[in-house]
Each structure stands twice: as structure tokens, then as C-alpha cells.
Amino acid sequence: MSEPKLYKNLINGQWVESATGRTFENRNPADTRDVVGVFQDSDERDVRAAVEAAQRAYTTWRLVPAPKRGEILFKAAQLLVERKEQYARDMTREMGKVLAETRGDVQEAIDMCFFMAGEGRRLYGQTTPSEMPNKFQMSVRQPLGVCGLITPWNFPMAIPSWKILPALLVGNTVVIKPASDTPLSVLNLVQCLLDAGVPDGAINIVTGSGSKVGEPLMRHPDVKVISFTGSTEVGSRVARVGAEGMKHVSLEMGGKNPMIVMDDANLDLVVEGALWGAFGTSGQRCTATSRLIAHRAIVGELTERLGDRAERLVIGNGLEPTTQMGPSINQAQLETVMEYVRVGQSEGARLVCGGLRLNEGALGHGYFHQPTIFTDVKRSMRIAQEESFGPVL
């Protein structure tokens, strides 16, 4: 096998090694023998260099007319369309979800590029009547400066696109720390932006841990905006840090979403929706259907049908066309899922199906867990209140 590719940080338009000289491996969660790439294990020195580059670029990027910035994003969208299949396959290798999902992930970035491109001609201000004579009142939109973006691994191109593209469109510059489990998808997205004409320093990438990269990024005095997607625990910390620095903060955190099914529902549609909601992306979504609240008149039939379908889902490598559900992202997340299954059983919930790690044959090199359904769940139970972030309904 060939040596895995070495990827570098992007600072001021240059691909550079980290100041630490250290790297980390990005491995396929469906087959840990497959090294997707080697990435920079950075620290606060790299963050400082990236923020300084973004601050310098801001002085000129903010003066580019917004319609022209939109035209660059339109070109990036066209490049994403051309590269969609390769980027989807890269994402499946590094994140694990099936190709149908990763193609959708890339498509979200494409759609966001086209959407923001159009917004370049719609950055309207306001005019309002004045209460004073001979006065004219108007407002205009102004960029804020350097934006620090911290993104998760479950939607590794879609979520970065939601943050990067609006920031660039309105004239801000960006430093992004992608999730260490899925940095390649962010690099792929940014490569399209560079190829489309985003100038040096307007967007910068620093890979590494939350403590060594994320923390100094959100504390840097020149970072005016922090946008974070991830756990509620970390998000609350980001909010405190942002408040201390009087920064603009955007947070997207966890959830425990219920599907509510009444007695007149079409159960064929319910089963399809619940299976996708609970087990799509292996349950690794803040929008996952982790609870189902069913009318007592149909709960028995619905539980039986869901259990039967869940047991027949095809689990495996997402690159295989027949696979319907992939692995957990890493060992720690798999262990979290297994712990919540144990907790559910200890609390007295009844296991309908699943409940076990899958580690035989081809699955033995990945982080696979059976689709799992509990019933007789009380609202006071931990599994009804806490986010397992796994294939547990």
C-alpha cells in the first residue's frame, strides 16, 4: 500500500507544517487499517499565525464589492459540482456514513454556495423616516472581522459551508478548526474556494485538538465572531469565553428529539421515517430521532414493525452500495453507545432488538454497533433524557 498523504495547515494562502512538527492520522472508522491521511497536530502558535493572516486579509477582502464576492462563491459551487463524487467518497472513508448520505452532505455545500452567491446582490440596508426635519436615515451592513469557526465530524462539509460561506460573502475572513476525525472534507471544500479565487489569508485552516487549537482560537482578541457546532457541554464553555471577550457567538448543540405518532398515522410512512431518523448517520446527528412517543392504540404494532426492520438493516462499510448504516465515528463514541445500552437495561427498559457491538468478519476492523430499540421507557430514565449520539431509539 502507498504511504498516506500528508496534509498541511492553510495559512495566508500557503500549505504549511505546524509549529509543533507533530502530526496525527485520520483513519477510516469502518476499517481502521485504512489511513485516509496524516494531518497537522497544531497549537496556539499556528492559531496566532492564522489569525494574523486573516486580519491582514480583512483589510482588502472587506473592500471587494459584495456582488464580486458572490461571483467567487458561484465559481466554487460549480467546482463542487464537478468534484462531488470524489469528495463524497473521501467523506465516507473518513466519517463512515453511506455514500447516499455523503453525496447529500456535499450537495448541501453546493446549495449553500449558490445561495450565498445570490446574497451578494442582496446585502440591503434600511431607510427609515426621520422624526427630525431635514434628516435622512439609512443603515448599511458591515463585516465584523475575523471569524473563528469550530466544526464537528458528523456533517463535515455541510456544516463548515454554513459557517464559512456567509462569513466570506459579507466580507469577513475566516480561521476554521475542523474536527480531528474529519479534516479532509473541510480541506476539500476550501480547495474549491481557493481555486475559485478567494484571496490569500481570507480563509485559513488549522487542524488539531480542541484544547490546543480551539481554545486559543476562541480566546484570541482579534477573533470577533465564534461559531461552534458540537456538544452542549463544550458549547456552554464557548458561550462563557465569548461573553468574557464581548464576542459575537453562534452555537448549535445537542438534542433529544421525539417523533410523535398518533393512532391515525400511516404506519408504513412512520416506519420509514423512524428508521431513517434513528439510524441514518448511525444516529450521530443532533437532529436524530432518539425518542418515539406513540399512541397506546398502535404502540405494540409499531414497535414490532420497527424491530423487524431494524434487524434487517445492512450494516457495513459505507462505500459498499448495499450498506444502509455505517459505523460510529471512533472507539470513544462506540463505547458511549455501549454504555447507554447498558444504562437502559439497568434502568429497566426492555430491549426490543440490537444492543451489541458488531465485530465479526469484515466488521471486526471498524466501530460498528447494532441498531438498537428500547421500549417501556420512562421519561425519568437517562436514555430518555441524554443524547447517546448513536443508533439507539
Q: Which three cell numbers stand for residue 57?
A: 486579509
Marked catalytic residue, from 147, 286, 353, 387: 286
* Cβ-based neighbours of 53, under 8 Å, separated by 6 or more: 11, 12, 13, 200, 201, 204
Rounded Cα distance between 289 and 287, Å, is: 7
Asked if 326 and 318 touch (Cβ cutoff 8 Å), the reply is yes
- DSSP-derived secondary structure for 115-157: HHHHHTT----EEE--SSTT--EEE-----SEEEEE--SSSTT
Rounded Cα distance between 61 and 64, Å, is: 5
Question: Which residues, listed in sequence order, are joined to residue 249 by a DSSP beta bridge?
Answer: 226
Marked catalytic residue, from 252, 320, 335, 347: 252
In terms of DSSP bridges, do strands 373-375 and 350-353 run parallel, antiparallel, or are they unpaired?
Answer: antiparallel
User: Is 252 annotated as catalytic?
Assistant: yes
User: Is 353 annotated as catalytic?
Assistant: no
Residues labelled as active-site residues:
252, 286
